[in-house]
Structure 1
Amino acid sequence: MTQTITPFRAAREQTAGRPRRRNDVMECEFVVEGAVGTTVSDVDARRVRHMRTIVGDQLRGPGLSGLRETAEVVVSELVTNAIVYGGGTVKLSLLVTRAEVRLLVRDSGIGSPLQGEPALDAESGRGLLIVELLAAELGGGWGFTPESRTSWCALPIRQAGS
């Protein structure tokens, strides 16, 4: 099981004697064990849980903990989607700015990711709908970059008093 994790790099500015977040970046990368379009292997399922835990741990700080559970669900859905439909190398990036938490997941598949329309009785296929609803509930956004197989979700950070 090969996995690379680049630790959170905190870039901070001083504002009125207090540190202020500028950009924090964390990246994780792994190679999918299972075949594209098949059930998620046990190894890959553990990787989804691991990515979720890593993101959750990074969002334990002041001002970010309110986004932790939502970000964990979003990561689970985006990483699972990349494993099932993209395969190859999957890269998760977490970017924290003053205004938002941005999650990006890139895979090695071909073509553009698509949001499906699962049947009412289907047991899967709702991951991207969940991401869309969670982002909308918080006033954020989500989508795919047109030039790569990267799915993203932006969750706004609520400032004190807002």
Structure 2
Amino acid sequence: MSHFLGEFDCKLDAKGRLMIPSNLKKQLPDAEKDGLVVNRGFEKHLVVYTRKEWDKIVDDLSKLNQYEKKTREFIRYFTRGATELSLDASNRVLFPKALLDYAGIGSEVVLSCQFNKIEVWDKNAYDSQMDNEPENFANLAEEVMGNLGRRIDE
């Protein structure tokens, strides 16, 4: 599986359409045929998945025990607003107004690629989030990644 790479400053037009940057478009060869899915992020941003990735997520969700209230709530909140996106002839996608409002996205956005997804942030919100980098990023890296590759019995 390939992962998306890059960070792109973009602008939405007055109708809420975003032109996919050419360097990102190259990483989405099946987007025109299969489509994309946009959804709410865990923070106030949006997340774009390829249809194939979204289907994997939905498959995982369908395996959860829906007799448990917390599971039903999570599925409801996680999938709330999920919308299929199509590329038009100009390589633009139209974001639903309700999702743009949820994320507080204005005309300037940042597309931040992370593994199998593309986060869509209002530029000011993204800059603010990135300005809050931990004072000692090395400590955070050790805390999060320090046990990677270690056996449990060590």
TM-score range (shorter-chain normalised) is: under 0.3
**Structure 2 length-normalised TM:** 0.27
By percentage of residues, which structure has more helix?
A: 2
**Structure 1 length-normalised TM:** 0.26
Of structures 1 and 2, the one with the larger relative CO (CA 8 A, separation 6+) is 2
By percentage of residues, which structure has more strand?
A: 1
